[in-house]
Amino acid sequence: MFFIIKYIFYFLFKIIYSFIIVYLIGYLCYLLTFYHFSRKDKNFHKKHIIIFGASQGLGQAIALRLSKQGCKITLAARKEKLLKETKEKCISNNKETQCEFYKCDINKIENIKNVFNTSYKRFGFPSMIIITAGLASPGYLEDMSYDIYENDMKLNYFGSLKVLKEFKSFYDLNKNDELILNKEEIEIVCTGSVLGLIGSICYSVYCPTKYALKGLCDSLRFEFLGTNIKLHYYAPSNIKTPGFEKENENKPQLCKEMENNVKTISADDAAHYLLNNLDKYVIVTEPDLEICKNGTAFMSEINFIDILIAPFAAIMVFISRLNIDNNIIKKKNNIKIKND
């Protein structure tokens, strides 16, 4: 009997010891993420960047940061006056910067096609496309009309979908372009939200639109494997923008109180955290979110088992994703060989 009890305690000790080691490694990884947010922006000097939703807020902040590098920037949004102001700011930042703007509603396919075709003739094939257009309508379920649900989905999800779909057609049409033939990376950033990873009170309109966008990106990331298109889902927390200020005007009090402890960052910081973390698929705006974005407990209910299984789950998710990626590329290559 003593022998059995001894081995039970021995195995319990081993399990506890193993979890301590795993969590210690996790903590060290957490500390490493602080470095990721202090890196320099990725260099796009003289490269062509297209930004949808560039007239103000995050889109404008990204354009201003890139303009300091001396890029070729295409600005697209609905408000022509604000686009003109953004263009002037970009050009004043760096004499090497070239900038043009186009009035564009991303729910109008012809507008999107015009941006791609006209900017291509002006600056060549884009090295990066960023979609920042979007809005949030906070409120309780009973206070929100069906029209609000449909309008927000139309912009936040279908707008991005149309840009992605039209870009793929544009990409296929110009597949003999030097940038494509040389297999240089073409970055595409879809701006979602941390609320596309976890729900929040009073955001029953907004969260589904960003969940849908995340699902779209997850699916298209697989489709783009084996090509030089690199897709990103940007999931920032609160950003101080004109859109966020307008959102706060109609935000229920309980929602405001819940967000008191949520860090609100400047649009410039949000632009920086995006541009210096383009080596990742899901990009967030702070180290805590970097750890949480792949955590099972972050996505589900509060459950002690989630804490115990999280280290193992993280390893299994990594292996599963690796296998899926490799299988997709393998099958794509097999199909290509058969077609050839």
Mean pLDDT, range 168-189, rounded to an integer: 93
pLDDT of residue 211: 95
> Taking a C-beta distance cutoff of 8 angstroms, is the pair 142, 90 a contact?
no
State how far the Cα of 151 lies from the Cα of 205, in Å rounded to an integer: 10
| CATH code for position 154 | 3.40.50.720
Residue 249 has pLDDT above 90, yes or no: no
Least confident piece of the model among 25-34, 107-116, 269-278: 25-34
Helix, strand, coil % over all residues of the chain, rounded to 5: 60, 10, 30
Tens digit of each residue's pLDDT (9 = 90 or more) over 255-275: 888 787 788 999 999 999 999
Least confident piece of the model among 108-112, 191-195, 198-202: 198-202
Q: Which residues of 61-99 are buried (b: 16+ CB within 10 A; e: fewer)?
A: bbbbbbbebbbbbbbbbbeeebbeebbeebeebbeebbb
Residue 230 has pLDDT above 80, yes or no: yes
Mean pLDDT, range 157-169, rounded to an integer: 97
Tens digit of each residue's pLDDT (9 = 90 or more) over 197-223: 888 889 999 999 999 999 999 999 999
Residue 48 has pLDDT above 90, yes or no: yes
| Tokens standing for residue 280 | 């990742």
pLDDT of residue 116: 97
Percent of all residues in the chain with a pLDDT value above 90, rounded to a whole number: 60
Work out the mean pLDDT of the chain and round it to a whole number: 89
pLDDT of residue 327: 82
Residue 37 has pLDDT above 80, yes or no: yes
Residue 31 has pLDDT above 70, yes or no: yes
Whether residue 339 is contained in a domain is answered as no
Whether residue 317 is contained in a domain is answered as no
Whether residue 274 is contained in a domain is answered as yes
pLDDT of residue 117: 97
State how far the Cα of 172 lies from the Cα of 336, in Å rounded to an integer: 16
* DSSP-H helix ranges across 124-205: 146-153, 160-173, 178-181
pLDDT of residue 1: 64
Whether residue 327 is contained in a domain is answered as no
Task: Please give the residue range of the domain that contains residue 268.
Answer: 40-293
More confident residue, 26 or 118: 118
Whether residue 30 is contained in a domain is answered as no
Whether residue 304 is contained in a domain is answered as no
Q: How many domains does the chain have?
A: 1
Whether residue 23 is contained in a domain is answered as no
pLDDT of residue 8: 76
Whether residue 132 is contained in a domain is answered as yes
